[in-house]
């Protein structure tokens, strides 16, 4: 594990398509690199717990701050690109909506307040039904909780007339 401070800003490449960011200057650099490589959309991971790791990430953790997401969105929009936010937990979803991203992907823990904010800001919900939590002792319970929450949201939003 690499130890870093906010002043020791670095990019760490886990695989060629994944950029792990520290601090907003690096978020800006990451967006510009992806644009230079020909990206058609910028996708951020606003919450953790979904990449098969249990070290240092949980579904409820907001992995990017509001400020980092704002920088990413502003730069992507400046170049005409949309920003998709992989967001499962509430805090990450909220940061993404407030930052002005274009879509929330997954959004398992959306609630009425977040749905209202999404409607006000014209943020689309791209729902996916399953998220695989591997290498986790509580895998089945977590999956059932996520699925139940998602199902309840879908029913509520459909009843309220919220479109996808």
Is the pLDDT score of 7 beyond 50?
A: no
Give the chain's domains with CATH numbers.
12-160 (3.20.20.140)
Whole-number mean pLDDT of the chain? 77
Express each pLDDT in 90-117 by its tens digit.
999 999 999 999 999 888 888 889 999 9
Give the pTM: 0.69
DSSP class per residue in 2-21: ----TTS---EEEETTEEE-
Residue 139 and residue 121 in contact, taking contact as beta carbons nearer than 8 Å: no
Residue 98 and residue 127 in contact, taking contact as beta carbons nearer than 8 Å: no
- Choose between 23 and 73: higher pLDDT: 73
**Spatial CB neighbours of 139, under 8 Å, sequence gap ≥ 6:** 133
Strands (E) in 107-162, as ranges, are 124-126
Q: How many CB atoms lie within 10 A of CB 121?
A: 13
Express each pLDDT in 138-163 by its tens digit.
556 666 676 777 777 777 777 776 55
């Amino acid at each position: 594990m690499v130890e870093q401070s906010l002043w020791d800003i670095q990019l760490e490449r886990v695989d060629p398509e994944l950029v792990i960011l520290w601090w907003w200057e690096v978020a800006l650099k990451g967006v510009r690199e992806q644009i230079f490589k020909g990206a058609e959309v910028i996708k951020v991971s606003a919450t953790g717990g979904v990449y098969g790791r249990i070290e240092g990430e949980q579904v409820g953790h907001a992995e990017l701050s509001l400020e980092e997401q704002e920088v990413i969105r502003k730069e992507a929009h400046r170049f005409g690109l949309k920003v998709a936010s992989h967001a499962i937990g509430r805090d990450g979803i909220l940061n993404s909506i407030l930052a002005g991203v274009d879509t929330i992907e997954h959004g398992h823990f959306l609630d009425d307040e977040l749905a209202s904010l999404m409607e006000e800001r014209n943020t689309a919900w791209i729902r996916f039904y399953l998220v695989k939590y591997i290498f986790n002792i509580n895998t089945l319970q977590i999956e059932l909780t996520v699925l139940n929450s998602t199902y309840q949201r879908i029913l509520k939003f459909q009843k309220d007339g919220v479109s996808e």
